[in-house]
Amino acid sequence: MPESFTEDDAVLGRVIYQYNRFVNPGLARLLAFAGYGVEQRAEGCYLYDHTGRKFLDCLGGYGMFGLGHRHPRLIAAAKQALDEQPMPSKVFFSAHVGALAEKLAEITPGDLQFSFFCNSGTEAVEGAVKAARAASGRHGIISTHGGYHGKSFGSLSLTGREKFQKPFEPLLSGVKFVQFGDAAAVEKAVDGSIGAVIVEPIQGESGIHVPPEGYLREIRKICDERGIVFILDEVQTGFARTGDMFAMNHEQVVPDIATFAKGLSGGIVPIGAFMGTPKVWDALFGENPVVHTSTFGGGPLACRVALAAIEVIEEERLCENSSARGEQMLKGLQQVKNRFPELLSAVRGRGLMIGAEFAIDDAAELCIAQMVKRDVVAAYTLNNPRVIRFEPPLTINHAQVDEAVNVFGEAVAETAELVAAVNA
Ligand SMILES: Cc1ncc(COP(=O)(O)O)c(C=O)c1O
């Protein structure tokens, strides 16, 4: 028992009790182990807990806080929507759906033209899979080991981690998994049942893996030759995260379907979307315009904030900042790796989507706790707990990147000491 029990302790104790009794006891243990308190408010690149302690956010809500926390332009757009109409009747035309869809068609490459709006990444993937089946007339899908596409049934069937899939089988049939980054493996897996290939342009939750140059172009070629629908899952990579508005732009590849969420609304309201070419849209909606729907999807609140978020990304030149600060961070983290070559096995990424991989199990978790102790928020990747991800707001500045790298260096040093003590 602590010598004196403060009001702050009572606040945290109450929430931990509620998590244990009414939310998820295992999750309560995980969060407490990492050293997190109760989050209270957020601004820019910083989060504040129930004691008023300030944390630099290097996780960015798993990539959703592209514009930092509570960007004033997004708050203004949200307030205006709340004052006028936050949710739609669904039977009138919506100027906000039209405007956001037109903007997305303008900023995405090639003939990605039509948009469907939903509320999350997994929902965007569900819609994409239905569209691909409608367009190809075949049910088989090629996905990648380590790939992450969400946890609802269709998306989970494509998420390449046994730990998440096994308890819920049987999942969608006809899904084949191949090695990420190997286009020849895709070609080899194609048979008469395959109607779609889905990949992330950079795998996020597998531990931030950038594929070899030309990978996406080769998949595009295979899909064209075999009449297969190419789905690019940009849920995590989209909206300047990797230094370009979309990661597909790095290889100048245009898929038949693209999925988005996370950064689309700058983290103010939930929104997801999938986009498709006229051919895909005709196959999906040609005979029945309401064959795929969502009650909440495409609400004015979400669409207005998303449109403002895209304008801010353009006006504040966040692609450039993501690229420059990403290079600075990658270089700094690589220097830390060079100091601890036995504990850190790799540092890799693009833009502000960077992973630092530990050579042994559980070290990343220990290191995260050390980072939290030093007021930096971090987490590991969902399909690879050996990798700490760095996905800060794209508004992060030079000094904040230096701070994050220094803290990571100190946290790795302390982790190395802890590991040595355990092994002694
Ligand atoms: C590439 C990718 N697709 C889909 C999803 C699922 O998104 P959500 O958690 O919003 O359902 C994620 C989430 O991390 C993701 O990274």
Tokens 């990343």 belong to 364
Ordered strands of the 376-377 beta sheet:
39-43, 46-49, 54-57, 376-377
Per-residue pLDDT, 1: 52
Q: What pLDDT does 2 receive?
A: 56
**Cβ < 6 A, ligand 1 pocket:** 62, 120-122, 125, 148-150, 200, 204-205, 233, 235-236, 261
By most ligand atoms within 8 Å of CB, the mutation choice from 62, 122, 152, 259 for ligand 1 is: 122
**64, 129, 148, 208: residue to mutate for ligand 1 pocket, most atoms within 8 A of CB:** 148
Atom 3 of ligand 1, residue of closest alpha carbon = 149
pLDDT per position in the chain (424 positions), as tens?
A: 556 889 999 999 999 999 999 999 999 999 988 889 999 999 999 999 999 999 999 999 999 999 999 999 999 999 999 999 999 999 999 999 999 999 999 999 999 999 999 999 999 999 999 999 999 999 999 999 999 999 999 999 999 999 999 999 999 999 999 999 999 999 999 999 999 999 999 999 999 999 999 999 999 999 999 999 999 999 999 999 999 999 999 999 999 999 999 999 999 999 999 999 999 999 999 999 999 999 999 999 999 999 999 999 999 999 999 999 999 999 999 999 999 999 999 999 999 999 999 999 999 999 999 999 999 999 999 999 999 999 999 999 999 999 999 999 999 999 999 999 988 8
Residue of the CA atom closest to atom 8 of ligand 1: 121
Atom number in ligand 1 closest to CA 205? 16
- Its pTM stands at 0.97
Domains in the chain with CATH codes: 35-67+317-423 (3.90.1150.10), 72-315 (3.40.640.10)
Output the pLDDT for position 372.
Answer: 95
Residue 249 Cα to ligand 1 midpoint, Å, equals: 20
In our burial notation (b when 16+ CB lie closer than 10 A, e otherwise), range 71-98 reads bebbeebbebbeeebeebeeeeebebbe
By the 8 A CB rule, do 257 and 132 touch? Answer: yes
Q: How far apart are CA 304 and CA 311, in angstroms?
A: 11
Structure confidence at residue 217 (pLDDT) = 98
